[in-house]
Structure 1
Amino acid sequence: MATFNDKFIRDLEVPAKGRKVAFDDHRDSPIGFGVRVSPKGKRVFILRYTADGKDRLMSIGEHPIWTLTAARKKAQEFKREIDGGTDLLQQRRIKRAELTLADVIEQYCGQYADKLKSGPAVRGALERHAVPVLGDKKITEVRRREIIDLLEPLSDGKQRMAGLVLGYIKRVFTWAEDREIIESNPVATLTANKIGQGLTASARTRVLLDREIMALWSEQPEGMSRAVWLALRFVLLTGQRPGEVLQARHSDVHGHTWTIPADHRGKTGDDHDVPLTETALEIIEQAGGEHYLFERYRGQALEVNALSKAVQRCATALQADAANRWRPHDLRRTMRTGLAASGVSETVAELAVGHVRKGIAAVYDQHKYSIEKRNALEAWERRLLAIAERREPDSSNVVPMVSA
């Protein structure tokens, strides 16, 4: 037991596995009030109590979104209800009678997948790719189109991973259908060849309109955190995948170059060097992350779904087209289109956004294109800032690109 303060909570040791719980002995805290720390470093205020002879542990809220003072006050309110005979955790469970996709994934893994040799890979892929995007949605309300939208960004350079995740999701829905959790399986006939390049009929071609770029670049929208806003601008400026941007660490940045490690790029191969323009370096400085370039709070990286939710929540402020609202991954496509419009050759443009060369060219052409990629990023920077500032780009400043 210890008396909590913000520093004590931030400094709590992160467990390698399982969850660590510490309790507060402050005079204003009810018995059982504490903090739970997950292996990912998430710190959540909790209240432990007993009901019908059973030990209960209910969540109050995540620190630092919830302040220590507010969490203590809420714990006192909950304790008064509990002392009056109310089992608050059971009430919550009744309200959540319809299982979410995250609930069903946990049940599927716990009762079946975890017992398989491939169990860790199955659970890891589902928790990394499916839960952050659709985990909070009731499983009975998940639609086929939403699964395709979830998998489509993965297919960009990660076709094999998209196929694996689809296979795991199909197993979850089949398992749920067999147990009558759902009446029908929305992805029963969805196959891997319909993901990515197979989705030619419905593949996204969305790029941002100039007015949408100006809105994103002009000022931080109300209701969007500064870290999220800067991360979205950084994706548009560099053209890299949102997931790679949010995993970027200060240790990956050396001078004017950001190196994306191979293990952050799925099966795409080697490390990828991204030239950083002056504007990109300014964004990094403004973000002020401690470990990651863009952080939810000190030392904790933003999650990809935070970008998607923020764009959806702030659509009006972003002047997003209501009929075809843009998504974070569309920023990357906008940048790639902007490279072409700036006169950058296809070879250099593809390498600049991290696409892997294939075929005989990949074997025989070992040139790194470092200077050409930097010129390309600087040409796009000029074009982007010209749009943001409502002026035509100065074509006299565009550096000619080396042809493939």
Structure 2
Amino acid sequence: MALTNTIIRTAKPHNKPYKMADEKGMFLYITPAGSKLWRLKYRFDGKEKLLSLGAYPDVSLKDARASRDDARKLHANRIDPCENRKVQKTARVERAANSFEVVAREWFSKYRPGWSTSHSERTIRRLENDVFPWIGGRPIAEIGASEVLDVLRRIEGRGTLDTAHRAHQNCSQVFRYAVATGRALRDPTPDLRGALPAANGGHFAAITEPQEVGALLRAIDGFKGTFIVLCALKLAPMLFVRPGELRQARWQEFDLDRAEWKYWVTKTKTDHLVPLASQAVKILKELHALSGHTNFVFPGARSHTRAMSDAAVNAALRRMGYDTQNEMTGHGFRAMARTILHQEIGIAPEIIEHQLAHRVSDTLGAAYNRTKFLKERRRMMQQWADYLDLLRSGSKFA
């Protein structure tokens, strides 16, 4: 006889546990303490098994029968309901372990030692306040661009557009870390390029945290484009000149024996001298074998009579997964060098400003002196190239 709600509700516990049969293998197991537990008995591969269906009254008679029927459908398809439950539980545990918040906190813990205290605090606070409440619990591999955009729109809606851009950058970093650690297939945030208005006119996105710079340098080493663009990417952080000055560099301006590059700066209408570190000279000598017969150090892909496209470096950064609107641009290598040379290496600002070819007045009123601080700048440029090598290898944080 099938059970009814009245029979179940009035059933009393005994000194020993007992069963009250329903139908199709399901029964109610009543303990001496008064617990009423749903169970399903079935046989699979010749073995008798029991499947728990929950406890009454949390699981009603109707719901217990629905679960029983689901289990019987699995059984009819030669799927063991108990084993299926174990698989589903494991999948749920794995999904929870690979949630956006779990991966993001792991990423944060890994890279925090290379950041300043203020940057660390701002980053985790931004994630906790603006990102985790919305997508923190979602499996990171299942999050799409539209979900991230919803998060960014909420931030933008508060009138904090700059925070929205920084949250976009942080999400991209977390997704790329998930890809690198095998917990996601791709970073969906590049699909949102242009979805947010620019935060500040005239601002060039730049990476200025040393550990992130190391990751960027390793990404550059793995670039799969042309050798000419690869060399430009390697020299851009090392020389930190303006992007137009780099791509239009001419071989006649270089003296590799003296390790110098002298050229005219159109923006400031001054001559400029760039001391070349030994690493830069090595790259240029390798490149000379390919483009030394042309006028330009970085000739264009279609014509050697023209310089490389002004979009080449930014396009390469995008191919490597960097958002050139909010994360890193070719011009951003200048801000990268300016920030780290002063904050991390301790170079005096006036030496850095002269190397950046900014118009810095001296005590005699001269707007710019090409040779001023030249000895210090030579030392700085070699220090900088050596420091970049440390960041690239990761030994700086070992």
User: Which protein, 1 or 2, shows the higher relative CO under an 8 Å CA cutoff with sep ≥ 6?
Assistant: 2
Q: Same fold (TM over 0.5)?
A: no
TM range (shorter): 0.3 to 0.5
